[in-house]
Chains A and B, each alone.
Chain A
Amino acid sequence: DQQVKQNSPSLSVQEGRISILNCDYTNSMFDYFLWYKKYPAEGPTFLISISSIKDKNEDGRFTVFLNKSAKHLSLHIVPSQPGDSAVYFCAASDLNTGNQFYFGTGTSLTVIP
Protein backbone atom coordinates (compact mmCIF):
# COMPACT_ATOMS: atom_id res chain seq x y z
CA ASP A 1 0.00 0.00 0.00
CA GLN A 2 1.63 3.21 -1.22
CA GLN A 3 1.20 5.77 1.54
CA VAL A 4 3.03 8.48 -0.37
CA LYS A 5 2.15 9.09 -3.99
CA GLN A 6 3.65 11.14 -6.74
CA ASN A 7 1.14 10.87 -9.54
CA SER A 8 3.21 12.63 -12.19
CA PRO A 9 6.03 10.39 -13.38
CA SER A 10 7.55 13.20 -15.41
CA LEU A 11 7.50 16.96 -15.86
CA SER A 12 9.12 19.26 -18.44
CA VAL A 13 9.67 22.95 -17.79
CA GLN A 14 11.42 25.73 -19.65
CA GLU A 15 14.53 27.20 -18.06
CA GLY A 16 13.68 30.20 -15.91
CA ARG A 17 10.10 29.15 -15.31
CA ILE A 18 8.61 27.62 -12.17
CA SER A 19 8.66 23.87 -11.59
CA ILE A 20 5.94 22.49 -9.35
CA LEU A 21 6.25 18.92 -8.15
CA ASN A 22 3.36 17.38 -6.24
CA CYS A 23 3.04 14.72 -3.62
CA ASP A 24 0.01 13.25 -1.84
CA TYR A 25 -0.09 11.11 1.27
CA THR A 26 -2.75 9.02 2.93
CA ASN A 27 -1.61 8.77 6.54
CA SER A 28 -2.89 11.76 8.52
CA MET A 29 -0.37 10.96 11.26
CA PHE A 30 2.59 11.90 9.08
CA ASP A 31 4.24 14.91 10.67
CA TYR A 32 7.52 15.34 8.85
CA PHE A 33 8.15 15.58 5.14
CA LEU A 34 11.25 15.80 2.99
CA TRP A 35 12.18 16.21 -0.64
CA TYR A 36 15.18 14.52 -2.21
CA LYS A 37 16.77 14.90 -5.62
CA LYS A 38 18.41 12.01 -7.44
CA TYR A 39 20.76 12.08 -10.39
CA PRO A 40 21.47 8.88 -12.35
CA ALA A 41 24.08 6.61 -10.75
CA GLU A 42 23.96 8.58 -7.50
CA GLY A 43 22.02 8.22 -4.29
CA PRO A 44 19.27 10.72 -3.44
CA THR A 45 20.41 13.98 -1.90
CA PHE A 46 18.40 15.93 0.64
CA LEU A 47 16.81 19.15 -0.62
CA ILE A 48 14.37 20.56 1.89
CA SER A 49 12.09 19.47 4.71
CA ILE A 50 8.99 20.67 6.49
CA SER A 51 7.37 19.85 9.78
CA SER A 52 3.61 19.59 10.08
CA ILE A 53 3.55 22.62 12.36
CA LYS A 54 4.43 24.74 9.34
CA ASP A 55 2.76 25.20 5.99
CA LYS A 56 5.73 26.61 4.12
CA ASN A 57 9.49 26.32 4.19
CA GLU A 58 11.86 28.13 1.87
CA ASP A 59 15.50 27.58 1.01
CA GLY A 60 16.83 29.62 -1.85
CA ARG A 61 15.11 28.64 -5.06
CA PHE A 62 13.26 25.79 -3.35
CA THR A 63 10.01 26.18 -1.42
CA VAL A 64 7.93 23.39 0.02
CA PHE A 65 4.24 23.92 0.76
CA LEU A 66 2.21 21.66 3.02
CA ASN A 67 -1.58 21.43 2.99
CA LYS A 68 -2.46 19.13 5.86
CA SER A 69 -6.20 19.14 5.28
CA ALA A 70 -5.65 17.98 1.71
CA LYS A 71 -2.75 15.70 2.67
CA HIS A 72 -0.75 17.31 -0.07
CA LEU A 73 2.66 18.85 -0.38
CA SER A 74 4.39 20.49 -3.26
CA LEU A 75 7.89 21.57 -4.14
CA HIS A 76 8.35 24.79 -6.09
CA ILE A 77 11.60 25.53 -7.88
CA VAL A 78 11.99 29.11 -9.06
CA PRO A 79 13.66 29.82 -11.39
CA SER A 80 14.26 26.38 -12.84
CA GLN A 81 17.72 25.64 -14.17
CA PRO A 82 18.97 22.84 -16.45
CA GLY A 83 20.97 21.46 -13.55
CA ASP A 84 17.71 20.84 -11.72
CA SER A 85 16.92 18.04 -14.18
CA ALA A 86 16.72 14.96 -11.96
CA VAL A 87 14.26 12.63 -10.28
CA TYR A 88 12.58 14.15 -7.24
CA PHE A 89 11.26 12.03 -4.38
CA CYS A 90 9.04 13.12 -1.54
CA ALA A 91 9.15 11.25 1.75
CA ALA A 92 7.03 11.31 4.90
CA SER A 93 7.20 9.97 8.41
CA ASP A 94 5.23 9.77 11.62
CA LEU A 95 8.02 10.67 14.02
CA ASN A 96 5.97 9.63 17.02
CA THR A 97 6.01 5.98 15.97
CA GLY A 98 9.56 5.73 14.72
CA ASN A 99 11.88 6.96 12.08
CA GLN A 100 10.65 5.00 9.09
CA PHE A 101 10.27 7.18 6.05
CA TYR A 102 7.85 6.36 3.25
CA PHE A 103 8.91 7.48 -0.20
CA GLY A 104 6.94 8.30 -3.29
CA THR A 105 7.77 6.79 -6.65
CA GLY A 106 9.47 9.93 -7.91
CA THR A 107 8.91 12.57 -10.57
CA SER A 108 11.46 13.02 -13.33
CA LEU A 109 11.97 16.73 -13.98
CA THR A 110 13.49 17.95 -17.23
CA VAL A 111 14.40 21.61 -17.48
CA ILE A 112 14.70 22.62 -21.11
CA PRO A 113 17.35 25.27 -21.88
Chain B
Amino acid sequence: KAGVTQTPRYLIKTRGQQVTLSCSPISGHRSVSWYQQTPGQGLQFLFEYFSETQRNKGNFPGRFSGRQFSNSRSEMNVSTLELGDSALYLCASRTTVSLRYEQYFGPGTRLTVT
Protein backbone atom coordinates (compact mmCIF):
# COMPACT_ATOMS: atom_id res chain seq x y z
CA LYS B 1 0.00 0.00 0.00
CA ALA B 2 1.15 3.51 -0.68
CA GLY B 3 1.88 5.52 2.44
CA VAL B 4 0.43 8.80 3.61
CA THR B 5 1.31 11.61 1.25
CA GLN B 6 1.38 15.29 2.00
CA THR B 7 1.68 18.23 -0.35
CA PRO B 8 3.48 20.50 -0.58
CA ARG B 9 6.56 19.36 1.33
CA TYR B 10 7.87 22.87 1.85
CA LEU B 11 6.13 26.20 1.89
CA ILE B 12 7.17 29.77 2.58
CA LYS B 13 4.48 32.34 3.32
CA THR B 14 4.40 35.84 4.75
CA ARG B 15 2.50 37.03 7.79
CA GLY B 16 -1.17 37.65 7.15
CA GLN B 17 -1.44 35.22 4.27
CA GLN B 18 -3.36 31.99 4.36
CA VAL B 19 -2.22 28.49 3.47
CA THR B 20 -3.82 25.18 2.58
CA LEU B 21 -2.06 21.86 3.16
CA SER B 22 -3.16 18.58 1.68
CA CYS B 23 -3.04 15.01 2.92
CA SER B 24 -3.89 11.74 1.21
CA PRO B 25 -4.26 8.88 3.69
CA ILE B 26 -3.43 5.25 3.18
CA SER B 27 -6.07 3.57 1.07
CA GLY B 28 -8.88 2.32 3.29
CA HIS B 29 -8.02 4.55 6.23
CA ARG B 30 -10.92 6.79 7.09
CA SER B 31 -9.47 8.58 10.11
CA VAL B 32 -7.11 11.47 9.41
CA SER B 33 -5.45 13.55 12.11
CA TRP B 34 -3.30 16.65 11.87
CA TYR B 35 -0.44 17.62 14.20
CA GLN B 36 1.83 20.60 14.54
CA GLN B 37 5.43 19.92 15.51
CA THR B 38 7.65 22.68 16.80
CA PRO B 39 11.04 22.42 18.53
CA GLY B 40 10.58 21.62 22.20
CA GLN B 41 6.82 21.14 21.93
CA GLY B 42 6.56 17.70 20.48
CA LEU B 43 3.52 16.91 18.39
CA GLN B 44 0.51 19.04 19.22
CA PHE B 45 -2.85 17.65 18.11
CA LEU B 46 -4.83 19.92 15.81
CA PHE B 47 -7.87 17.88 14.80
CA GLU B 48 -9.13 14.52 13.64
CA TYR B 49 -11.55 13.81 10.82
CA PHE B 50 -13.56 10.67 10.23
CA SER B 51 -16.11 10.23 7.47
CA GLU B 52 -15.94 13.90 6.57
CA THR B 53 -16.73 14.97 10.14
CA GLN B 54 -14.43 16.57 12.64
CA ARG B 55 -14.37 14.17 15.55
CA ASN B 56 -11.81 15.77 17.85
CA LYS B 57 -10.20 19.17 18.04
CA GLY B 58 -7.09 20.29 19.87
CA ASN B 59 -6.44 23.57 21.60
CA PHE B 60 -5.68 25.78 18.62
CA PRO B 61 -7.27 29.07 17.57
CA GLY B 62 -10.02 29.21 15.00
CA ARG B 63 -7.50 30.30 12.35
CA PHE B 64 -6.72 26.60 12.04
CA SER B 65 -9.40 24.66 10.23
CA GLY B 66 -9.70 21.52 8.22
CA ARG B 67 -11.96 19.35 6.19
CA GLN B 68 -12.18 15.86 4.83
CA PHE B 69 -13.53 14.76 1.51
CA SER B 70 -15.56 11.69 0.63
CA ASN B 71 -12.41 9.89 -0.54
CA SER B 72 -10.88 10.52 2.93
CA ARG B 73 -8.38 13.03 1.60
CA SER B 74 -8.02 15.93 3.98
CA GLU B 75 -6.94 19.53 3.89
CA MET B 76 -6.03 21.91 6.63
CA ASN B 77 -6.12 25.66 6.30
CA VAL B 78 -4.42 28.32 8.35
CA SER B 79 -5.63 31.86 7.85
CA THR B 80 -3.93 35.12 8.83
CA LEU B 81 -0.58 33.46 9.30
CA GLU B 82 1.61 34.44 12.23
CA LEU B 83 5.34 33.93 12.68
CA GLY B 84 4.59 31.37 15.40
CA ASP B 85 2.80 29.18 12.89
CA SER B 86 6.16 28.19 11.43
CA ALA B 87 6.31 24.47 12.08
CA LEU B 88 6.23 21.01 10.61
CA TYR B 89 2.64 19.97 9.98
CA LEU B 90 2.08 16.24 10.06
CA CYS B 91 -0.87 14.29 8.83
CA ALA B 92 -1.60 10.79 10.09
CA SER B 93 -4.14 8.19 9.09
CA ARG B 94 -5.31 5.01 10.72
CA THR B 95 -7.69 2.19 10.20
CA THR B 96 -10.92 2.10 12.17
CA VAL B 97 -11.99 -1.45 11.39
CA SER B 98 -9.90 -3.22 14.01
CA LEU B 99 -8.71 -2.66 17.54
CA ARG B 100 -5.52 -1.08 16.31
CA TYR B 101 -4.82 2.51 17.13
CA GLU B 102 -1.43 3.21 15.66
CA GLN B 103 -1.29 6.05 13.21
CA TYR B 104 0.68 6.20 10.01
CA PHE B 105 2.30 9.55 9.41
CA GLY B 106 3.16 11.37 6.25
CA PRO B 107 6.51 13.13 5.82
CA GLY B 108 5.03 16.46 6.80
CA THR B 109 4.81 19.92 5.31
CA ARG B 110 7.45 22.36 6.53
CA LEU B 111 5.79 25.78 6.75
CA THR B 112 7.92 28.86 7.20
CA VAL B 113 6.21 32.17 7.89
CA THR B 114 8.30 35.28 7.33
Q: Interface on chain B toward A: helix, strand, loop, or mixed SS?
A: strand
**What B residues does A106 contact at CB under 8 A?**
42
Cβ–Cβ contact A99 & B31, under 8 A: yes
Shortest CB distance A86–B (Å): 13
Residues of B within 8 A of A4 (CB): 42
Number of residues from B at the complex interface, CB < 8 A: 24
Q: Which of B60-68, B76-84, B102-110 forms part of the interface with chain A?
A: B102-110
Interface size class of A (residues with CB under 8 A): 20 to 34
Given contacts A43-B107, A44-B90, A93-B101, contact A99 B42 (CB under 8 A): no
What are the residues of chain B within 8 A of A95 when measuring CB–CB?
101
Q: What is the distance, in angstroms, from B55's C-beta to the closest C-beta of chain A?
A: 7
Q: Which of B89-114 contact A (CB under 8 A)?
A: 90, 92, 101-108
Complex partner residue of B48 from A2, A41, A100, CB under 8 angstroms = A100
Which residues of A line the B interface, CB within 8 A?
Answer: 2, 4, 6, 32, 34, 36, 41-46, 49, 89, 91, 93, 95, 98-106
